[in-house]
């Protein structure tokens, strides 16, 4: 019997790099939310594992054991055919592959497979938070997760279509020992209050990414110039950037404005939570 799953885009509202372990893993303090746009997966049980990839961003996505969906299915002991509809640009800092893997683990858990946080973490630092798929403070190497209620945040996501290797970004990072977020995250009643607090936080990977990929800086400049924008920042290690707005109407207007000026960019108005 076919099962469907949704893999929402993951957005790092903040990403503080707070240290590096002896084994090379970076320590993070990040406020993570999820969009109402994402990839779609269909699972059909069978004797052998196989994957097909369709959708706007299917090009370049592997259909073998290099794919995180394949790795997640193998780890959970699930076999059959998986159809992955790639709505999200891959390698864009919005957790496309991690969210796909998390959706696969959630499906397997619902089918009775034993799925642990350790299994999720072994697939990537973002996979455990993507299994939660709701506003969360993520710390350590991705294993410390604290649910953090936030208001619905109208937003615009923009990706300029350039790939920025995560390893290159971390190599260009000047400091790996930066201050974390405050111990307590306030309760926000509206997007404006949340955005005002976020102004004092950071994405420590934004400066090295913009130095490596000037197109990311161009996206941020365009987002900052939109009407009613509350905040513009890069997500993850890029190259997707986001902007927050007081209303979805303002987010849709900004999407139209940027999409008309840059039809080659991926633009999506969405709601984050």
Query: Which residue among 10, 29, 39, 86 is the active-site one?
Result: 10
| Per-residue confidence band for 113, with pLDDT thresholds at 50, 70 and 90 | confident
Please confirm, yes or no, whether 10 is among the known catalytic residues: yes
Please confirm, yes or no, whether 126 is among the known catalytic residues: yes
- Domain residues for 259? 153-272
How far apart are alpha carbons 236 and 15 in whole angstroms? 7
Rounded mean pLDDT of 15-41? 97
Tell me what the pLDDT averaged over the chain comes to. Answer: 96
Q: Do 229 and 158 lie in a common domain?
A: yes
Rounded mean pLDDT of 106-121? 92
Secondary structure letter of residue 93 according to DSSP: S
Q: Do 225 and 175 lie in a common domain?
A: yes
Domain harbouring 258, CATH code: 3.30.70.890
- pLDDT greater than 90 at residue 184: yes
Among 147, 175, 192, residue at a domain's last position: 147
pLDDT at 103: 98
Among 147, 175, 204, residue at a domain's last position: 147
Q: Do 136 and 17 lie in a common domain?
A: yes
Per the structure, the count of domains in the chain is: 2
Sole residue written with tokens 């290099």: 66
- Residue-wise pLDDT for 232-263, tens only, equals 999 999 999 999 999 999 999 999 999 999 99
Query: Which residue among 29, 100, 126, 204 is the active-site one?
Result: 126
Q: Do 131 and 12 lie in a common domain?
A: yes
* Token reading at 164: 């920025």
- pLDDT greater than 90 at residue 114: no
Rounded mean pLDDT of 257-272? 98
| Per-residue confidence band for 1, with pLDDT thresholds at 50, 70 and 90 | confident
pLDDT at 90: 84
Rounded mean pLDDT of 29-55? 98
Taking CA atoms, 11 is separated from 83, 143, 243, in Å, by 24, 17, 11
What percent of the chain clears pLDDT 90, i.e. is strictly above it? 95
User: Given CA atoms 194, 197, 203, 207 in this order, what sign does their dihedral have?
Assistant: positive
Domain harbouring 18, CATH code: 3.30.230.10
């Amino acid at each position: 019997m076919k099962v469907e799953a949704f893999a929402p885009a993951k957005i790092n509202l903040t990403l503080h790099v707070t240290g590096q372990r002896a084994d090379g893993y970076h320590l993070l303090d990040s406020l993570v939310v999820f969009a109402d746009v994402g990839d779609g997966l269909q699972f059909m049980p069978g004797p052998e594992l196989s994957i097909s990839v369709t959708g706007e961003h299917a090009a370049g996505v592997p259909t073998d054991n290099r794919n995180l969906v394949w790795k997640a299915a193998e780890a959970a002991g699930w076999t059959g055919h998986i159809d992955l509809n790639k709505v999200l640009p891959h390698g864009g800092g919005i957790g496309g592959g991690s969210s796909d893997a998390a959706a696969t683990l959630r499906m397997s858990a619902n089918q009775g497979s034993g799925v642990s946080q350790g299994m999720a973490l072994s697939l990537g630092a973002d996979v455990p938070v993507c299994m939660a798929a709701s506003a969360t403070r993520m710390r350590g190497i991705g294993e410390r997760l604290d649910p953090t209620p936030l208001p619905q945040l109208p937003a615009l996501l923009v990706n300029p279509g350039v790939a920025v290797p995560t390893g290159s970004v971390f190599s260009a990072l000047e400091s790996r020992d930066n201050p974390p977020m405050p111990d307590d995250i306030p309760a926000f009643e509206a997007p404006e209050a949340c955005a005002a607090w976020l102004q004092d936080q950071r994405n420590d990977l934004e400066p090295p990414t913009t130095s490596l990929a000037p197109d990311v800086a161009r996206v941020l400049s365009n987002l900052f110039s939109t009407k009613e924008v509350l905040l513009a920042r890069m997500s993850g290690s890029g190259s997707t950037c986001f902007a927050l707005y007081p209303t979805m109407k303002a987010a849709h207007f900004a999407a139209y404005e940027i999409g008309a000026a840059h039809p080659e960019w991926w633009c999506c108005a969405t709601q984050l939570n």
